[in-house]
Structure 1
Amino acid sequence: MNTETCAPSEAAALREIFASHPDAAPPAGWEAVRSFEAEHGIVLPEPYRSCVAEISDGLRAGPPDYGLLPLAQTPSDWGEGRAERLLAQPFPLTQAWQWEGGDEEDEGGEELSGEEFETRVEAVYDHGSLLLGTDGCGMYWHLITTGPQRGHVWLIDEFGAIPFGTRPGALVMPGTPGIAGWVAHWAEGRSWFADD
C-alpha cells in the first residue's frame, strides 16, 4: 500500500465508484486539502488525499451506512465535550485491540492501570486518525493519518478497534487494506466481517 502517491489504477477505481453515485459531493479542491493539512500538521495519505481534492469530498449513501463524511466533519453522534482530535499525534495501535468488558490490558496483553487504560482508549479514538463516518451504534470508521498504520482504515467502537483488510485471530475483516480497498469493498456490497 502506497500512501505517498496516488496510483492511477486506484484513482480510476475511485472515480468510477463515486461517478456511479449521484449523491457524491463535489471535490473540495487542493486549496481546501492543503489548508486542512496545514491546520492539523499532517499530510493526508493517498489515495484519500487526491480523492477529496479531485474526485469527491463525501457521499451521503456510504460507505459507511450513514455516508462518507466530508473532510473535517465528525458524525452527528460523535458527541460534544470530547477531547480535541489530534491528527498529528501517532495512532497508538498496530494490531487489533478488543477492550470489551473493560479488560484493562493493551492490545499486546500488558496490564494497564485504570487511568492508563482510559488514556489509551481515548488516544485510539482521537489520535492520528480522520473520521470517515459511522455505521451507527457508536461504530466509527477512521482513516489513520499518522503512525505505522498510516493509510489504513480502522473500525473503532465500544468493544475495541480492528483494522480493515486483516485477519487478526478470531476477528475477520477481509479486504484490501487502505481507503481504495475499503471503498471498493463497500461498492461491491460485501460484508465487512465475513468472506463472501
Structure 2
Amino acid sequence: MSIEHVDPGVLTELRDAVGADDDGASALGWPAVHAFEQRHGVVLPEPYRSFVAEVSDGSHAGPPEYGLVALGALPSDYGSDGSGRDLTRPFPLTEPWLWEGDDEEPDEARLASVFDDGSIVLGTDGCGMNWHLVVTGAHRGQVWMVSGEGAMPFGQVTGEPGFAGWVRHWAAGEEWFDAG
C-alpha cells in the first residue's frame, strides 16, 4: 500500500467501484485539494488524494452504506459540528479501543481526540458508525471505524488497510467489520 504515490490502475478501479462515470465532473480538482491541504496543514494520503481530485468528491453509491461525504464534510449523524477538529494533531490510536462497557470512564480528552484529531471522515454506516481516513500520525493512510462504543482499524484480515483496500472490500460485498 503506497500512501505517497498512486497507480493510475488503482484510480480506474476506484472509479469503477463507486460508479463515477462522469469523466471527473464530480471531482474536486487539484487546486481545491491543494487549498484544503494548505488550510489544514496536511497532505492527504494516496490514493484518496488523487481520488477526490480526479475521480469524485463524495459518492452517493458508497462506500460506506450512506455514501462517501465530500472532502472535509461530516455525515449528518456525526454528533458535532466539527469545530474542534484538528488534522495536524496525530490520530491518537495505534490499536483498537472499546471504551463502551469498560470498567473505567474513558479519559475525555483522549476520547475527543479519537473523534477530532488527525483524520478526515469518509462517511457513515448509520447509527454513528463513521469511517475515518487517518491523515496524521502512526496510522497515516489507514481507515478506521469510529463509533460511540469504540474504534478499530480496517484491514486486519484483508491486509489492505488503506482507502483502496477499504473500497475494494466494499465493492466485493464483504462484511464491513473485517475483524479477525
TM-score (norm 1): 0.83
Counterpart in the other structure of 1:135: 125
**Aligned partner of 1:163: which letter?**
P
Q: Quote the residue 2:33 is aligned against.
A: 33
Matched, 1:179 2:169: no
Using the alignment, how far apart are the partners of 2:123 and 2:103 within structure 1?
27
Displacement after TM superposition at 1:8 (Å): 2.9
| Structure 2 gap segments, 5+ residues each | none
Which residue is equivalent to 2:147?
157
Structure 1 Cα separation of the partners of residues 128 and 108 of structure 2 = 17
Report the Cα distance in structure 1 between the residues aligned to 2:2 and 2:81, rounded to whole angstroms: 35
5+ residue gaps, structure 1, are 105-113, 168-173
Structure 1 residue 81 displacement after superposition: 5.4
Q: Does the Cα contact within 8 Å between 2:62 and 2:68 map onto a contact in 1?
A: yes
Amino acid at match of 2:164: A
Between the aligned partners of 1:101 and 1:126, the Cα distance in structure 2 is: 22
Equivalence for 2:112 = 122
Taking structure 1 as reference, are residues 147 and 7 closer, same or farther at Cα in structure 2, changes over 3 Å only? same
Over 3 Å counting, the alpha-carbon distance change for 1:35 and 1:83 in structure 2 is closer
- Which of 1 and 2 has greater Rg? 1
Per-residue CA deviations over 1:15-46 (Å, capped at 9, x if unaligned) read 22234678x97100001100110110000000
Which amino acid in structure 1 is aligned with residue 169 of structure 2?
Answer: H
Distance in 2 between residues matched to 1:55 and 1:129, nearest whole Å? 21
Match of 1:145 among 118, 127, 135: 135
Cα displacement (A) at 1:180: 0.3
- Aligned sequence identity (%): 53
Cα distance change of structure 1 residues 118 and 33 upon mapping to structure 2, 3 Å threshold: same
Q: Deviations over 1:123-167 (max 9, x none)?
A: 011000000011111101000000110000000111111000015
Query: How far is the alpha carbon of 1:102 from its aligned partner?
Result: 4.0
TM-score (normalizing by structure 2): 0.90
Give the whole-Å Cα distance in 2 for the aligned partners of 1:38 and 1:102. 39
Distance 1:57 1:137, change over 3 A: same
SS at match of 1:31: helix
Instruction: Write the letter of the residue equivalent to 1:118.
Output: E
CA root-mean-square deviation: 2.1
Distance, in Å, in 2 between the alignment partners of 1:58 and 1:25 is 12
State the alpha-carbon separation in 1 of the partners of residues 37 and 169 from structure 2: 27
Residue 51 of structure 2 corresponds to: 51
Give the length in aligned residue pairs: 178
